[in-house]
Structure 1
Amino acid sequence: MAARNVSLAARLRHARQVQRDRAQATAGTARELVIVAFAVPLATLLLLAVIAAITLGLSGSGFGAFGTVLGSAWLCLHQVPLSIGGVKISALPLVPTIALLVAVFRYTGPSARLRTTPADLGALVGAAVGGPLLITALAYALVLDGSSVVPVNPPNALWAFGATVLIYGLGTIAGIARRDWRDWCAQAGLTGERFDDAVAGVRTGVLAALMLIGAGGVVVCVLLAANWPAVTRAMAGGNRFDGYLGLTLVSLLYLPNLVVDVAGALLGVPVPLGGAMIDVFNPHTGSVPALPITAIAPGPPPIRYLWAVVLVVPLAVAIWAGLRARHYDPLRNLRRVAIIAAVAAVVMFVATLAAAGTVGELGRAGGQAPTVALFTFGWVLVVGAVIALLHGSREETKAQRSAAAAALASSAVVGHEDGFDDDPTVVLAVVEDVEPEVPTPAFYRPDGDTPVVDDVEDLMFFDDIAPD
């Protein structure tokens, strides 16, 4: 009887311990989701509140419009177009939005390490999106309530909530994909050669787009140095120190926008900048937004046929991408080129779409995203296809194809004799062995009579030491 009572008490203690552990795990999961939902948005909102307070204090207009300014700043941060005094501004600075995306990516990625089931990952994404949606609703209410005090018209509600979901959703999914992207590819059926081609194509396509944008940044720096007197004249419109500081900060915030616009112009796409036109074939000056950085808008080129020099940039990027896609199999080569072109076009489309927009009465600033994407796709695809054709006609490439075909045929014969006709791993192993292997380093003793030693550890020996 006593032993039975002891066993019953032990089972009860174990059951209570399991319940406590389950309750702690549930509480920890809920606490973590709440932190994911509000950590980044609340920190961002606090930073915007400080900036709004400093701006209103320096302007001397009082804090009666603090709520409206804070709500408008939150919406602008999420690329929501606003209409101020009847003037619509949809070309919003990209620096704060990029910083927000990076913060969401870096913060939510570690939170997904302990989550493996789709339900857990879905809860994480829902929490990361749900918290910012509540703050967006609050910001929209503040703008709506203060529209009678400050001439800010409430934006499109669907756009506001959709932009919030897009930014936080993309950042969170990217943070999760950093760990699980290989599993997702396997579930989608991307294995073997298709997986290798997809990974190589995506990486090269993203790098090609970043190289184009980087070239746009270099051109912006060159134009800043060449048109520095015009930049200083635009800076003089600040009148006071706070005005100079404000113009400088706003110019820095809009710097990625201008870099993306110039990158589109390097492809040969006409890019309007207010009343001016950035075009490698027919540029002309005009009224631009009142920011010092926009004073770099070029006029007619100092020499004719400058477009021939400018178009070397996309040509060089396309050649680099085509060389990265080389393969002895022409079908795989063209498949890689197509993936690279498509990925680069998608990146340029998204970047141009985010950077461009209207700037009030001056009109549009930035190129048309579909046109920029089409030009990017055309440059990379055409040049890459030409490189693939030239590479496929080389004697070395033909020899590699012949060796691969011979290896495939011999593997088929061996597989038939050994009963492995339906085993694709045998064929894959033989084809992969076409390229010569790197020989293992051999180490020799100085006398030359000792046999070859294939392992460094074989040279490590110790004489027996007699005990004292």
Structure 2
Amino acid sequence: MSSRNSLVRRTSGSRGTGETVVAPAGPEPGWWSLSPERARTLLLVAARPTITAMTATVLLVLVVMLTTGTDLTSAPAAVAATWLAAHQVPLTVGKTTLGLLPLVPTAVLVWVAARECARAVPKRPTPVELGWLTGAVVVGPMLMTAVCLAVTGDASGVIPLASPGPISAFGWVLVLYLGAAAAGIASRAWSSLCALVPIEIPEWAVLGARAARRTVLRMLGCAALATVISFFVHLSRLDDAFRQAHNGIDVLGMTVLSLLYLPNVVIGAAGILSGAAVLFGAGSVGLFGVTGGHMPVLPALIPVPEGPASSWWIGLLLVPLAVGVLGGVELGRTSEDRPGAPWATLTCAALSTLTFLLLAILGSGQLGAVGWVGVDLLMLVVLMVTWFGFGGFVGMTFARRFLTPTAPAEDYDEYDEYEDDDYYDDDDYEDEDPADDADPVEYDDPAVEVDGELVEDFDDELEVSIAAPGSTDEPADDIVDVEVVESDLPDEDKTPGR
């Protein structure tokens, strides 16, 4: 039934009869009120990722401690420290500060939380529902972080593990899970998320954001390819990297640790390809030179080039430039708003650079006696915004003059991905109103006879009273007496007396 006749309600009786529809009276429920189904959904969103992550952490710590013969009395502190480290909270063991932490556990935790959040997004969410959902995503990890801080504080008198500052710990957890909530909501209700912005988002900004996502992925792909090639070029260093290993368990541990740090290495490679240097304390590695310094012995660092810098390394600057040109070509061919295309190019360059800045901050930190390890952030921002911006304008100009415009590609609908996802049990997130999922009954729109004239449409805001046959009751003064004329009834309904 079309929305224009949505106020005409049919009862369980004959479709030819009707009744007066009276809206339920009473105050609107407050923002704090939740249905039992919705409360259960939010509880799952808050608890399941946290419980899953903590269970995996406990199992990992126990396996490591049992295989290495460590006393299990320090297991609670080890579990708490592992949880904090997985959320990029810097740890201090003795006098050594470990701020350069692997990104693989962090990425997995954020991905699981984002998927859980996306699965629980209502079909037509309201701002209040999105606020409840965001709070549910954050509250579980925050509570677990508070417990871990208390455990590390109690264990600091037994083992040389200093309890991290609460501002740092809660700040990292809050930022990570707010990002997970935003990603999960955006994947299912992008329009609802944009509606929360107080100003209207121009079309060129949306196009620039989509192009920035592709630009970041292309640059990371090029950096990963360069890392793999450099690894095989310097494969002779593999024996030196495992020289400190005494047995097979040490080899396995160093290999797993290197895999966990692999995203950090790829982010550093992206910085080097842009022209920025990667700092290792007093030393640095870049396309324009290599300065000697103390570097950790780890298989993950085998791809790091050694000095002196070769002249052909400068040619690698064409990689970020080519990525920027490709993004500009796409915007030039698909953008229907020609005056807004340059702004879309600038938006793409700015958002891409901002994304790499955030990734570089996550992938850097203090590493004990080595010092601060990470990409030179200032040079990274200056160089990437230059390559992506300049290359984007070149590609956009070229596409406008020499290439045929094409229709913009439709965005990938991630809603279908979650619908077919086997990771979750659909019974955990039942619809709050089961009637919404029932198969709708198709009826032809009835024609309405008002004062002897057939009217096929009427105002939805008009309250309609459909008088039953033979009824002597007079309708209210402000209600129109109408008769529903069913024009196309199914064959089984065309019986005498109907």
The reply to whether TM is greater than 0.5 is yes
Q: CA offsets, 1:97-143, max 9 Å, x none?
A: 11111101111111112562222221221122111111101101111
Whole-angstrom distance in 2 between the partners of 1:40 and 1:350? 24
- Could you tell me whether the CA contact under 8 Å between 1:330 and 1:392 is conserved in 2? no
Matched, 1:93 2:99: no
Matched, 1:149 2:149: no
Please name the residue that 1:198 is paired with.
205
Whole-angstrom distance in 2 between the partners of 1:136 and 1:186? 32
Whole-angstrom distance in 2 between the partners of 1:282 and 1:62? 47
Matched, 1:67 2:72: no
- Could you tell me whether the CA contact under 8 Å between 1:230 and 1:296 is conserved in 2? no
- Could you tell me whether the CA contact under 8 Å between 1:266 and 1:314 is conserved in 2? yes
Aligned with 1:299 (options 296, 303, 306): 306
Partner amino acid, structure 1, of 2:384: T
- Could you tell me whether the CA contact under 8 Å between 2:228 and 2:303 is conserved in 1? no
- Could you tell me whether the CA contact under 8 Å between 1:288 and 1:295 is conserved in 2? no
Partner amino acid, structure 1, of 2:318: V
SS at match of 1:331: coil
Matched, 1:236 2:243: yes
Whole-angstrom distance in 2 between the partners of 1:341 and 1:159? 30
Partner amino acid, structure 2, of 1:212: M
Whole-angstrom distance in 2 between the partners of 1:376 and 1:180? 31
- Could you tell me whether the CA contact under 8 Å between 1:275 and 1:288 is conserved in 2? no
Q: Give the C-alpha shift of residue 30 in structure 1.
A: 2.3
| Structure with the larger strand share | 2
Please name the residue that 2:331 is paired with.
325
Please name the residue that 1:449 is paired with.
none
Aligned with 1:382 (options 390, 395, 411): 390
Please name the residue that 2:42 is paired with.
33
Please name the residue that 1:171 is paired with.
180
Q: CA offsets, 1:308-356, max 9 Å, x none?
A: 3211111111111121221586532211111110110111011111001
SS at match of 2:159: coil
Whole-angstrom distance in 2 between the partners of 1:395 and 1:66? 63
Whole-angstrom distance in 2 between the partners of 1:233 and 1:395? 52
- Could you tell me whether the CA contact under 8 Å between 1:319 and 1:387 is conserved in 2? yes
Q: Give the C-alpha shift of residue 374 in structure 1.
A: 2.7
CA distance 1:144–1:374, change in 2 (3 Å): same
Whole-angstrom distance in 2 between the partners of 1:369 and 1:205? 19
CA distance 1:138–1:188, change in 2 (3 Å): closer
* TM-score, normalised via structure 1 length: 0.74
| Structure with the larger helix share | 1
CA distance 1:128–1:321, change in 2 (3 Å): same
Whole-angstrom distance in 2 between the partners of 1:87 and 1:38? 34
Q: Give the fraction of aligned pairs with identical amino acids, expressed as a percent.
A: 28
Whole-angstrom distance in 2 between the partners of 1:319 and 1:279? 23
CA distance 1:219–1:387, change in 2 (3 Å): closer
Q: Give the C-alpha shift of residue 236 in structure 1.
A: 2.8
Q: Give the C-alpha shift of residue 388 in structure 1.
A: 4.3
SS at match of 1:80: coil
Whole-angstrom distance in 2 between the partners of 1:197 and 1:55? 51
- Could you tell me whether the CA contact under 8 Å between 1:273 and 1:364 is conserved in 2? yes
Please name the residue that 1:365 is paired with.
373
Aligned with 2:287 (options 272, 275, 280): 280
CA distance 1:248–1:391, change in 2 (3 Å): closer
Partner amino acid, structure 1, of 2:345: V
Please name the residue that 2:262 is paired with.
255
Whole-angstrom distance in 1 between the partners of 2:404 and 2:305? 47
Whole-angstrom distance in 2 between the partners of 1:395 and 1:101? 40
Matched, 1:315 2:324: no
Partner amino acid, structure 1, of 2:92: S
182-191 or 318-327: bigger deviation: 182-191
Partner amino acid, structure 2, of 1:253: L
62-71 or 270-279: bigger deviation: 270-279
SS at match of 1:67: helix
Aligned with 2:112 (options 80, 84, 103): 103
CA distance 1:394–1:228, change in 2 (3 Å): closer
Whole-angstrom distance in 1 between the partners of 2:111 and 2:196? 27
Q: Structure 1 unaligned runs (5+)?
A: 1-14, 16-24, 398-468
CA distance 1:96–1:39, change in 2 (3 Å): same
Please name the residue that 2:475 is paired with.
none
RMSD between superposed Cα atoms in Å? 2.5
* TM-score, normalised via structure 2 length: 0.70
Whole-angstrom distance in 1 between the partners of 2:276 and 2:44? 45
Q: Give the C-alpha shift of residue 32 in structure 1.
A: 2.1
Q: Give the C-alpha shift of residue 184 in structure 1.
A: 3.7
Q: Structure 2 unaligned runs (5+)?
A: 1-23, 25-33, 406-498
Whole-angstrom distance in 2 between the partners of 1:231 and 1:75? 31
Whole-angstrom distance in 1 between the partners of 2:318 and 2:249? 42
Matched, 1:290 2:297: yes
Whole-angstrom distance in 1 between the partners of 2:65 and 2:138? 30
Whole-angstrom distance in 1 between the partners of 2:172 and 2:390? 35
SS at match of 1:296: coil
Aligned with 2:127 (options 94, 97, 118): 118
Number of aligned residue pairs: 372
Q: Give the C-alpha shift of residue 285 in structure 1.
A: 4.0
Q: Give the C-alpha shift of residue 189 in structure 1.
A: 7.6
CA distance 1:216–1:274, change in 2 (3 Å): farther
- Could you tell me whether the CA contact under 8 Å between 1:87 and 1:361 is conserved in 2? yes
Please name the residue that 1:446 is paired with.
none
Partner amino acid, structure 1, of 2:41: E
